[in-house]
Structure 1
Amino acid sequence: MKNIDGFHNPPVVLDDEHINIILNDLIEYHGYDFRGYSRSSLTRRIYRLMSLDKYASFAEFRFRLRYDEGFLNRFVEEITVNVTEMFRDPEFYRVLRSDILPLMATKPLIRIWHAGCSTGEEVYSMAILLREANLLHKSLLYATDINPVVLDVAREGIYPLTQMKTWSENYILAGGKQDFSRYYTANYDRAKLDSTLSERFVLSTHNLVSDRSFNEFQLILCRNVLIYFDKPLQEQVLALFDESLESLGFLALGTKETLKFSAVANKFQPVERDQKIWRKIA
């Protein structure tokens, strides 16, 4: 049996037309443009949110998304969620430590952009690398995300204490020589990262879909974000990174992401194929 919206009840069934309605509402009412996101990933996450809240109809879900600011924030967080942790993929950070940072050390000011920084763990990881290389004092770490809620987490630098064991192990595997506990203060079940690490952060909302370049960087990191975008949007974002990198700057992507077959591929050469790091040569 179908309800008045044409869906089987239960569960609510969505087709491309319904997804397009949601995407258009997000642009018209809130200025969020998710049209270039992978349709399968987008649909799966919308289904998950509707299932969690047990919506009986598409109309109910649409109304809530239009007019409930709190629910909008939750929706954006669900759609843009990324799994992250400090020193994730330790070998990647080992390569940054040994091969990339020494090449940037001669710069009078080092500008690094973490695009799609999520809750900030990778930015703090970079700050630790820079401190241990005695470069943090002359670095600026721009950390951006479409979701202001995750930026608040990054700004506070407070994370579950249960994460510290894994992060400490990652840090050691990434070539860390210090006691990782020196970088945080434990308080009950939470850990507060050293606030001096974030003194060189510039945190801001930035939409990779619609916003343009805002500086020139020596290193851009956008790891495990492009996999959620369709091919045209991937090309658009890679062009943005090309525009935002200075000559001989570095671009780091996620393990399942590549510049190969992209329109900017001929402007870069791989530095570390296994770790998906490229250097701009043109």
Structure 2
Amino acid sequence: MIEDKDLDALINDVYEHYGFDFGSYSRASLQRRVDRLYQLDGFNHFYEFLYKIRTDELYYKRMIDEITVNVTEMFRDPSFFKVLREEIVPILATKPFIRIWHAGCSTGEEVYSMAIILKEANLLHKSLLYGTDINGEVLESAKKGIFPLRMMKLYSENYLASNGYQDFCSYYTANYNIAQFNAEFSARMVFSQHNLVSDTSFNEFDLILCRNVLIYFDNTLQKRVLTLFDDSLSVLGFLALGAKESIKYALGDTKFQQLRKEKIWKKIQK
């Protein structure tokens, strides 16, 4: 594992040369991911690694992509999507137009999962789903709606466990080793880069999902991001986080009301 002084040097150099602040990321998580990249690319000395980052912008982008990549899958945690389907979507259906933000969407599996639920509720035509991530490479993948065919069995099982009732394979076309999801889904999506560390609100949303992203941030940055979500969420809108995440210490208990055991909160006052 790389030493603390090396990690400090990396954080300072990246901020000085590129303006990106890793200082508020969970230190243990950041250290593991940097160490993995350092070992993966075969550096012998940490100063060589730092020099490469400082002088090679393409390598800097590779580092950002490697460190910020997240693991995701369609209908991950089916019980969560079951609650979305049965309790949240019927409320969203009463709105004339539905805006949903998937923050830290990675390669977009969760965005397509939400689009499928909206289609089955006959709401996709009046919905717009925004998927954002700091990692531009994964967003390019998300825009295409192409996923590995080998993952469809798991995704279908997750879908059925979330109370999906259609033939899951009707939502994509299989071609050799890939699954291309129907264009009607991507037509209702907007993918763009957004940095939760430094960027501001860009719309007002009825539902914001940011699952298993805040666990990589320290308490100060978590509070900043949750305040951003509060500013971006309409009154009576919903905020969904990961299983190990909470708004309690950042936003308190007065403005938001938690729904059941899932990490979903309803904003009850401005």
Please list every run of 5 or more consecutive structure 2 residues that lacks an aligned counterpart in the other structure. none
Deviation (angstroms), 1:98: 0.5
233, 240, 263: which one aligns with 1:245: 233
Deviation (angstroms), 1:264: 3.9
Moved more, 247-256 or 58-67: 58-67
Structure number with larger C-alpha Rg: 1
Letter in 2 for 1:175: N
Q: Secondary structure at the match of 1:36?
A: coil
Deviation (angstroms), 1:259: 1.6
Q: Distance in 1 between matches of 2:125 and 2:258?
A: 29
What pairs up with 1:1-282 in 2 under 5 angstroms? Answer: 14-273=2-261, 275-282=262-269
Q: Distance in 1 between matches of 2:28 and 2:209?
A: 25
Q: Distance in 2 between matches of 1:124 and 1:107?
A: 21
Q: Distance in 2 between matches of 1:194 and 1:66?
A: 42
Q: Distance in 1 between matches of 2:83 and 2:146?
A: 27
Q: Secondary structure at the match of 1:108?
A: coil
Deviation (angstroms), 1:263: 3.4
Q: Secondary structure at the match of 1:221?
A: strand
Letter in 2 for 1:64: K
Q: Secondary structure at the match of 2:117?
A: helix
Q: TM-score, normalised by structure 1?
A: 0.92
1:10 corresponds in structure 2 to none
CA contact (8 A) 1:36 1:233 kept: yes
Q: Percent of pairs identical after alignment?
A: 60
Letter in 2 for 1:278: W
Deviation (angstroms), 1:29: 2.4
- C-alpha change, 1:20 and 1:265, in structure 2 (3 Å) is farther
1:6 corresponds in structure 2 to none
Moved more, 223-232 or 253-262: 253-262
Q: Distance in 1 between matches of 2:205 and 2:263?
A: 18
Deviation (angstroms), 1:212: 0.6
Letter in 1 for 2:174: A
Letter in 2 for 1:281: I
CA contact (8 A) 2:103 2:131 kept: yes
Deviation (angstroms), 1:142: 0.7
Q: TM-score, normalised by structure 2?
A: 0.96
Q: Distance in 2 between matches of 1:137 and 1:262?
A: 35
The CA RMSD measured in Å over matched residues stands at 1.2
Moved more, 231-240 or 77-86: 77-86
Runs of 4+ with deviation above 6 angstroms: none
CA contact (8 A) 2:11 2:21 kept: yes
Q: Secondary structure at the match of 1:272?
A: coil
CA contact (8 A) 1:258 1:276 kept: yes
Letter in 2 for 1:228: Y
Q: Secondary structure at the match of 1:218?
A: strand
Q: Distance in 1 between matches of 2:57 and 2:149?
A: 31
Letter in 2 for 1:209: V
Deviation (angstroms), 1:130: 0.5
Deviation (angstroms), 1:69: 3.1
Letter in 2 for 1:91: S
Q: Distance in 2 between matches of 1:78 and 1:234?
A: 21
CA contact (8 A) 2:101 2:205 kept: yes
Letter in 1 for 2:218: D
CA contact (8 A) 2:99 2:204 kept: yes
1:3 corresponds in structure 2 to none
